[in-house]
């Protein structure tokens, strides 16, 4: 664990938001009122090139959501939806009442054209245009070809959104420096202080790793997050006042600013580290610790865990027999070692275990202790206060580390490089969709001024499902799989975050949604509205599946098989679009679900009755 880490923070599940008696979704044939509008012009769609072949390219740019809804307008009761056409016009469509009674999607006048479309649309390897609204009267646009625009839009409410002309207040083509790849916009936020007005922009791009990083991280490409701060004193003239850069050898599933602009939340398949800050030197703690006088300390043991168990692995001297091992296990205590030799691990366990269900095995020179947790949950340490072990997330990591340790227990550097390493956990404990075979997934909060990770949660089997908007005054939320359910975690805890408290909280649950999404092989987008009343999964083409929260029924029913009385029913609905068009974008609000195809925009009324 890095020296700047405040410590592991548990994902504390709220039991009152779980439904242990949930029995499934009932297919409903109730019609979903749907309104549609033909697009005025074709969409602008950028495709990956043959050189953008890596998993990181596909993860970052391969599934772009071409639809954007103005959440600032939604909170006033207006529904204005945006997308970019092939001429780089910002198109907007309003869902409005026609003649006071009939809902219609109305195409509005385009308020803005992204500059220089004739040349920049032809840039090889460009990405799709990405846009965000950090304030009710401002927009940030990344054209996908390397240029960032800060645009003053004026009020964007209803028909006025299509009649106001947006004004560019900042535009820069080499905002990331020369010879940098194109980028997409991940998140923005605006805030003010005594020094002026600030717009924080988070940009993502994928760079080819240099030779040093290829050898160090075993990665051909690096995922890079650029944290730019634009500053102005009058909101007319803007400039880049600070640039911070974070890098990882794997992809990012989620990244969002704290709304005060002081911190960043990242959920990635590997750790993201701050490597550059234009306003403050970055201390490389790894390089500092890896001097010849102070080499990397090797772990005394490794351990990995699931929600229900912990496996601890020790590398023993060559030829150690089972009879030489001593083991003492109590519900909250462990003492294991070699008779007349070293103590391997001793002390109070982090949480109680089931002693009768816990076992240990010895294969070659690998001792594995399997502990069965009494209560499901993730442990920050095996033994309280003992940080001499290293938590790993895969079998390959265990083998790699124990190979590094082998020279400490024999007179040969690697006495048995092809020997049977054994398995550190039982395969049937995890489902395929739960496992991250070669990566360590984590959620972190990174404080921008000091570059420190104030909080970290190891996600392990908590597979990332989707990200969602909840409120204009809050950071984005993230949906993670817990067992079979999908749990929504709201990130951010106001303007100040105390190190002792977790900056994420469990706010909603979609029953069995983790299982449902894992079983959908054609899934492209997953969304939910701010009130969490339903979740939707869009296929690549035509079909959208809606999963509603359980609602009370007037007459209780009884399950014929179990005898359990059913007082609420969760419904599944299937929406089939006309033809077999690709689904290119989706946005969910409490009342409407908006779906974009190459030719049409659909608005699906998610309420039981008609009307906005």
| Six-digit token string for 410 | 């024999």
pLDDT tens sequence across 396-447: 555 555 555 554 444 333 333 334 333 333 333 344 444 443 346 889 999 9
Predicted confidence at residue 110, as pLDDT, reads: 92
Question: Rounded to an integer, what distance in angstroms lies between the CA atom of residue 25 and that of residue 573?
Answer: 9
Question: For residue 74, what are the CA distances in angstroms to 79, 121, 588, 609?
Answer: 5, 31, 11, 19
Strands annotated E in 178-308: 184-193, 196-208, 221-232, 239-248, 252-257, 263-268, 273-277, 301-305
Helix (H) / strand (E) containing 402: helix 395-405
Selection from 179, 47, 103 nearest residue 604 by Cα: 103
pLDDT at 130 over 90: yes
3-state helix vs strand vs coil in the chain, percent to 5:
10, 45, 45
Q: Burial of 212 by CB count in 10 Å (0-12 exposed, 13-18 middle, 19+ buried)?
A: exposed
What does the mean pLDDT of the chain come to?
A: 84
Full DSSP string of 455-468: EEEE-TT--EEEEE
Higher pLDDT: 405 or 572? It is 572
Gyration radius of the chain over CA positions: 27
Q: Do residues 437 and 222 lie in contact, with contact meaning Cβ atoms separated by under 8 Å?
A: no
| Cβ neighbours of 15 (radius 10 Å) | 7
What pLDDT, on the 0 to 100 scale, is given for residue 494?
A: 46
- Residue 489: its H or E element: strand 485-491
Beta strand ranges found along 17-159 (DSSP E)? 25-27, 34-38, 68-69, 79-84, 89-98, 102-107, 112-113, 130-135, 138-142, 148-152
Highest mean pLDDT out of 6-20, 130-144, 375-389, 550-564: 130-144
Q: Which pTM does this prediction carry? A: 0.75
Give CA–CA dist 399/387, Å, rounded. 20
Q: How far, in Å, CA of 506 to CA of 517, rounded?
A: 20
CB half-sphere exposure, 90, CA atoms < 13 A: 30
Residues 228-276 pLDDT 10s: 999 999 999 999 999 999 999 989 999 999 999 999 999 998 889 999 9
387, pLDDT greater than 90: no
CA distance 276 to 287: 15
Which pLDDT value is given to residue 401? 53
The pLDDT score that the predictor gives to residue 411 is 37
Q: Is the pLDDT of residue 287 over 70?
A: no
Q: What would the pLDDT profile of 584-599 be if each residue is shown by its tens digit?
A: 999 999 999 999 999 9
pLDDT in tens, 424-433: 333 333 444 4
Beta strands (DSSP E) in 249-365 are 252-257, 263-268, 273-277, 301-305, 309-315, 325-330, 333-338, 343-348, 353-363
Lowest mean pLDDT of 272-286, 366-380, 524-538, name the range.
272-286
pLDDT bin (cut points 50, 70, 90) of residue 509 is very high
Q: How far is CA 377 from the centre of its chain?
A: 20
Largest CA distance in the chain: 90
List the structure tokens of 79. Answer: 């529904």
Helices (H), 146-235: 211-217
What is the spatial distance between Cα 237 and Cα 171, in angstroms, rounded to a whole number?
Answer: 11
- DSSP 8-state symbol, 269: S
Look at the chain and count its residues.
612
Sequence spans of domains, the chain: 297-434
Helix (H), strand (E) at residue 447: strand 442-447
Which stretches of 121-233 are DSSP H helices?
A: 211-217
Spatial neighbors of 296 by CB under 8 A, at least 6 apart, are 289, 290
Summarize pLDDT for 343-370 with one digit per residue, the tens. 899 988 989 999 999 999 998 889 999 9
CA pair distance 337, 329, nearest whole angstrom:
12
User: Which H or E element spans position 554?
Assistant: strand 551-558
Q: Which residues contact 215 (CB under 8 A, 6 or more apart)?
A: none
Q: State whether residue 84 is helix, strand or coil.
A: strand
What are 105's two structure tokens? 């999607």
Q: Could you give the strand order of the β-sheet that contains 592-596, starting from the edge strand earlier in sequence?
A: 34-38, 600-605, 592-596, 585-588
Tokens of residue 127, six digits: 């990405």
Model confidence over 22-81: pLDDT tens digits?
A: 888 999 998 999 999 999 999 999 988 888 888 888 888 888 999 999 999 998 889 999
From CA 425, how far away is CA 441, in angstroms rounded? Answer: 18
For 297-434, which CATH class? mainly beta
pLDDT at 238: 97
- Sign of the CA dihedral with 67 first, then 70, 75, and 76 last: negative
User: Alpha carbon 272 to chain centroid distance?
Assistant: 13
Identify the pLDDT of residue 487.
97
At 204 the three-state DSSP class reads strand
CA-wise closest residue to 272 among 32, 428, 452, 60? 452
* Residue 38 CB neighbours (<10 A): 9
């Amino acid at each position: 664990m890095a020296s700047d880490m405040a410590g592991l923070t548990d994902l504390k599940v709220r039991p009152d938001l779980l439904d242990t008696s949930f029995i499934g979704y009932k297919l409903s044939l109730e019609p979903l009122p749907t309104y549609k509008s033909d697009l005025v012009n074709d969409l602008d769609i950028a495709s990956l090139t043959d050189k953008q072949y890596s998993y990181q390219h596909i993860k970052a740019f391969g599934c772009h959501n071409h639809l954007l809804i103005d959440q600032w307008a939604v909170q006033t009761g207006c529904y204005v939806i945006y997308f970019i056409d092939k001429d780089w016009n910002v198109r907007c469509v309003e869902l409005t009442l026609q003649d006071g009674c009939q809902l219609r999607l109305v195409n509005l006048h385009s308020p803005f054209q992204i500059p220089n479309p004739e040349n920049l649309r032809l840039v090889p390897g460009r990405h799709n245009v990405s846009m965000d609204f950090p304030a009710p009267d401002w927009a940030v646009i990344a054209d996908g070809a390397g240029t960032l625009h800060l645009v003053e839009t004026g009020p964007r409410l209803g028909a006025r959104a299509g009649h106001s002309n947006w004004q560019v207040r900042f535009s820069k083509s080499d905002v990331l420096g020369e010879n940098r790849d194109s980028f997409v916009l991940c998140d923005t936020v605006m805030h003010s202080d005594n020094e002026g007005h600030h717009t924080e922009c988070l940009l993502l791009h994928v760079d080819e790793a240099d030779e040093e990083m290829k050898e160090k991280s075993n990665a051909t490409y690096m995922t890079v997050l650029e944290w730019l701060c634009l500053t102005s004193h009058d909101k007319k003239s803007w400039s880049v006042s600070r640039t911070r850069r974070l890098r990882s050898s794997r992809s990012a599933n989620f990244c969002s600013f704290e709304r005060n602009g002081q911190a960043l939340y990242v959920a990635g398949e590997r750790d993201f580290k701050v490597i550059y800050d234009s306003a403050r030197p970055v201390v490389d703690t790894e390089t500092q610790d890896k001097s010849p006088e102070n080499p990397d300390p090797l772990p005394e043991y490794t351990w990995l865990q699931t929600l229900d168990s912990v496996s601890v692995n020790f590398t023993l001297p060559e030829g150690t027999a089972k009879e030489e091992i001593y083991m003492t296990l109590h519900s909250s205590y462990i003492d294991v070692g070699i008779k007349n030799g070293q103590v391997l691990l001793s002390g109070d366990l982090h949480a109680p275990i089931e002693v009768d269900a816990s076992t240990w095995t010895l294969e070659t020179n690998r001792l594995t202790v399997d502990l069965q947790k009494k209560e499901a949950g993730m442990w920050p340490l095996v033994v309280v206060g003992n940080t001499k072990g290293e938590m790993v997330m895969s079998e390959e990591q265990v083998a790699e580390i124990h190979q590094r340790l082998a020279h400490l227990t024999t007179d040969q550097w690697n006495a048995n490089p092809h020997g049977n390493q054994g398995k550190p956990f039982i395969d049937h404990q995890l489902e395929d969709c739960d496992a991250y075979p070669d990566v360590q997934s984590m959620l972190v909060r990174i404080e921008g001024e000091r570059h420190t990770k104030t909080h970290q949660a190891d996600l392990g089997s908590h597979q990332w499902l989707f990200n969602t908007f909840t409120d204009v005054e809050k950071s984005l939320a993230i949906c993670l799989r817990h067992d079979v359910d999908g749990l929504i975690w709201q990130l951010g805890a106001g303007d100040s975050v105390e190190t002792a408290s977790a900056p994420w909280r469990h706010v909603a649950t979609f029953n069995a949604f983790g299982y449902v999404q894992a079983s959908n092989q054609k899934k492209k987008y997953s969304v939910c509205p701010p009130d969490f009343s339903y979740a939707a999964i869009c296929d690549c083409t035509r079909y959208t599946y809606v999963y509603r929260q359980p609602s009370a029924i007037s007459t209780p029913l009884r399950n014929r098989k179990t005898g359990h009385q059913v007082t609420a029913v969760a419904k599944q609905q299937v929406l089939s679009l006309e033809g077999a068009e690709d689904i290119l974008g989706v946005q969910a609000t409490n009342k409407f679900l908006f779906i974009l195809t190459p030719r049409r925009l659909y608005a699906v009324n998610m309420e039981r009755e008609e009307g906005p």
